[in-house]
A and B are shown apart, each in its own frame.
Chain A
């Protein structure tokens, strides 16, 4: 009996289902002069939208696991339709499937409401083994989504993962850095892990994959592209819909269709999503204004430096 179980388990491992949760974020780490408003606050609209950096580390870890143990990598993101950009990026890097989770009803979600939607999406994929996400996103820096999703899908979590040591027989061995402590843990699958930036160096786009997947589209994009390419009034709605359905089918057959799931597809409880489903509310937001300090310019010469050190000693700054 035990032997049979072993067999089943190893077969089960042969087709590892890996899910990566990713987010498109404004590039808050590189606030350039152009992104600053005259009043000294940041113009968020002027920041480019990027693949959240630590989610790239999560994707890289998933791709490495796939290369070592086999399986497939599905990348999911919840966001507005334009978040499909990072899904194409994931495809260029090696992801097998992508899902865009989008609906106006999701807007204004805090981490609890977001984790609810993501958990529904994960549950829709049967038989997953490992869910990976970045430790945190650079726009919110909350690091809450991973643990909150893990609770909702009812699996164990290991945060701050640096390395996967081994994966066999439904068990995983990994190392993580928890502040001053470094731990090597063996635990059971399924599992959710959050990955830090020091775990790896994300790979670049594959040239062949880029050529292939730049044509990948969400159903939203298909509709938009066909509608905008047909002069108004020339096609009736029926013809338009037929065109869209045809394109849909064509991309699907080529593996270029990015799945799009809405609140309805996920059977989401309206009370648990978006602003309504968010216990936390933003009461007030204050922009940081960067007021310049009065600066004393020190010449980068021996004389200048001597003068500075002398001044600091006189003022007892060195204690």
Chain B
């Protein structure tokens, strides 16, 4: 079992730690160990303790000054070599932009199967009745498909490794064991023949890191908000309630707010205590990312909007009138 560890601005990406937890669970069922691979410029050892604390046994480290930024070709070469060397049954990546750039390239190189954006992983058997063959202890790669209208269980019976990218935030972190030990192995690899073809002329990191997954309250706006100006109402309500701002794909595509706020199948999956959907019609893609919320309030002018099917509180009305009323009510009651 191998996990690709992604570094997100001098920190281990949370999804990588989530994967370690899941890998530990699956590895225990299979009776194998959990190995991980980390690639970067230098000082990667500093992350080892944290990675081990969630259940990793062996960490392969590859450092080179040219590996400072993620670049497809060298990273593909390195991780493929680690896979060839360690021959894992299963390889997991976070379904982040980097994971979704890297994993398919590697799967194509190794000519094996890859399932994108899984929301759950399990170990189970599979019987091919036609071939009268039983595959024991293979990976069930579970993911929504067809725009979130179906949940499919995908398997890779014949090819190895079985590869998957896993969505951020769907696996719960287990308790870290501070004293858990692991082995750091510098991976011996020559980068002499590797193409570094990209020149990074400019690189900016957006400041605000919004962690929608951790929010207790999310106020979310959709296409029905109507304009960037109206979207200020969403910000106002979120600020009043001490929550964060989310958005549907329609709102992001219309330019009302940045993509980092997007909730739904192609955005973040959230489970806040309270979710307020404003001007969101409730396409399946969006619902897939928020329907596990504790309480859902939906505000929409269309009484037939699908969002009302999953809302606990339905308000048929215009957000321009309703939101100011909510802000006023909250402020006076407190």
B-contacting residues of A (Cβ < 8 Å)? 26, 28-31, 41-42, 44, 110-112, 115, 136, 138-152, 156-160, 173, 175, 177-188, 197-198, 278-288, 290, 292-300, 302, 304-306, 308-310, 312-313, 317-319
Chain B interface secondary structure, helix, strand, loop or mixed? Answer: mixed
A104 shortest CB reach to chain B, Å: 19
Q: Is B53 an interface residue (CB 8 A)?
A: no
Query: Are the CB atoms of B198 and A143 closer together than 8 Å?
Result: no
Assuming A287-B150, A296-B312, A308-B313, what are 4 further A-B pairs, CB within 8 angstroms?
Answer: A42-B150, A175-B202, A300-B315, A306-B333
- Residues of chain B within 8 A (CB-CB) of A284 are 152-153
C-alpha spacing A185/B259, complex, angstroms = 21
In the complex, identify which listed stretch (B27-35, B82-90, B97-105, B226-234) lies at the interface while the others stay far away: B97-105
In the complex, identify which listed stretch (B56-64, B106-114, B172-180) lies at the interface while the others stay far away: B106-114
- Residues of chain B within 8 A (CB-CB) of A317 are 273-274, 294-295
Query: Are the CB atoms of A188 and B114 closer together than 8 Å?
Result: no
Query: Are the CB atoms of B158 and A292 closer together than 8 Å?
Result: no
C-alpha spacing A30/B97, complex, angstroms = 25
B305-324 near A? 1/0 per residue, CB < 8 Å: 01011111111111001100
Q: Can you list 9 A-B pairs, Cβ within 8 angstroms, ordered by A?
A: A42-B149, A42-B150, A144-B103, A151-B76, A158-B198, A159-B101, A283-B126, A309-B329, A318-B274
C-alpha spacing A74/B209, complex, angstroms = 40
Query: Are the CB atoms of A148 and B105 closer together than 8 Å?
Result: yes
Query: Are the CB atoms of A288 and B284 closer together than 8 Å?
Result: yes
Knowing A147-B101, A147-B104, A295-B308, the reply to whether A280 touches B114 (Cβ < 8 A) is yes
Knowing A31-B284, A112-B108, the reply to whether A141 touches B151 (Cβ < 8 A) is no
**Option from B73, B104, B156, B199 in Cβ contact (under 8 Å) with A143:** B104
A157 shortest CB reach to chain B, Å: 5
A9 shortest CB reach to chain B, Å: 16
B219 shortest CB reach to chain A, Å: 12
**Option from B96, B113, B197 in Cβ contact (under 8 Å) with A278:** B113
Tell me the nearest residue of chain A to B296, going by C-beta: A293
C-alpha spacing A281/B140, complex, angstroms = 10
Knowing A147-B104, A297-B314, A309-B329, the reply to whether A178 touches B152 (Cβ < 8 A) is no
Tell me the nearest residue of chain A to B322, going by C-beta: A300
A-contacting residues of B (Cβ < 8 Å)? 8-9, 69-70, 72-73, 76, 96-98, 100-105, 107-109, 111-117, 126, 140-141, 144-159, 195, 197-206, 209, 216-217, 241-242, 253, 259-260, 265-266, 273-274, 283-285, 294-297, 306, 308-318, 321-322, 325-326, 329-330, 333-334
Query: Are the CB atoms of B326 and A186 closer together than 8 Å?
Result: no
**Residue of A278, A293, A305, A308 contacting most chain B CB atoms (<10 Å):** A305
Query: Are the CB atoms of B326 and A309 closer together than 8 Å?
Result: yes
**Option from B104, B260, B306, B318 in Cβ contact (under 8 Å) with A148:** B104
- Residues of chain A within 8 A (CB-CB) of B198 are 156, 158, 185-187
Question: Closest 4 interchain pairs by CB?
Answer: A28-B147, A300-B317, A279-B113, A280-B113
- Residues of chain B within 8 A (CB-CB) of A31 are 147, 149, 283-284
- Residues of chain A within 8 A (CB-CB) of B149 are 28, 31, 41-42, 44, 287-288
C-alpha spacing A141/B267, complex, angstroms = 12
C-alpha spacing A188/B265, complex, angstroms = 34
Query: Are the CB atoms of B311 and A295 closer together than 8 Å?
Result: yes
**Option from B72, B155, B295, B314 in Cβ contact (under 8 Å) with A283:** B155
Tell me the nearest residue of chain B to A33, going by C-beta: B304
Tell me the nearest residue of chain B to A317, going by C-beta: B274
Query: Are the CB atoms of B333 and A313 closer together than 8 Å?
Result: yes
**Option from A144, A185, A198 in Cβ contact (under 8 Å) with B116:** A144
Query: Are the CB atoms of B333 and A310 closer together than 8 Å?
Result: yes
Tell me the nearest residue of chain A to B266, going by C-beta: A141
Tell me the nearest residue of chain A to B112, going by C-beta: A279
Q: Tally of A-B residue pairs with Cβ under 8 A?
A: 265
Query: Are the CB atoms of A144 and B114 closer together than 8 Å?
Result: yes
Query: Are the CB atoms of A281 and B155 closer together than 8 Å?
Result: yes
Knowing A151-B108, A185-B200, A319-B217, the reply to whether A280 touches B155 (Cβ < 8 A) is yes
**Option from A143, A186, A313 in Cβ contact (under 8 Å) with B100:** A143
Knowing A142-B116, A156-B72, A187-B198, the reply to whether A302 touches B325 (Cβ < 8 A) is yes
Query: Are the CB atoms of B147 and A298 closer together than 8 Å?
Result: no
- Residues of chain B within 8 A (CB-CB) of A177 are 97, 259
Query: Are the CB atoms of B156 and A151 closer together than 8 Å?
Result: no
**Option from B107, B109, B204, B294 in Cβ contact (under 8 Å) with A181:** B204
Query: Are the CB atoms of A185 and B201 closer together than 8 Å?
Result: yes
Query: Are the CB atoms of B152 and A159 closer together than 8 Å?
Result: no
C-alpha spacing A306/B117, complex, angstroms = 41
- Residues of chain B within 8 A (CB-CB) of A44 are 146, 149
Tell me the nearest residue of chain A to B148, going by C-beta: A288
- Residues of chain B within 8 A (CB-CB) of A111 are 104, 114
Query: Are the CB atoms of A138 and B311 closer together than 8 Å?
Result: no
C-alpha spacing A247/B260, complex, angstroms = 52
- Residues of chain B within 8 A (CB-CB) of A180 are 8-9, 205-206, 209, 260
Query: Are the CB atoms of A139 and B114 closer together than 8 Å?
Result: no
C-alpha spacing A298/B325, complex, angstroms = 13
Query: Are the CB atoms of A305 and B322 closer together than 8 Å?
Result: yes
C-alpha spacing A188/B153, complex, angstroms = 39
- Residues of chain B within 8 A (CB-CB) of A42 are 146, 149-150
Tell me the nearest residue of chain A to B199, going by C-beta: A186
- Residues of chain A within 8 A (CB-CB) of B9 are 180
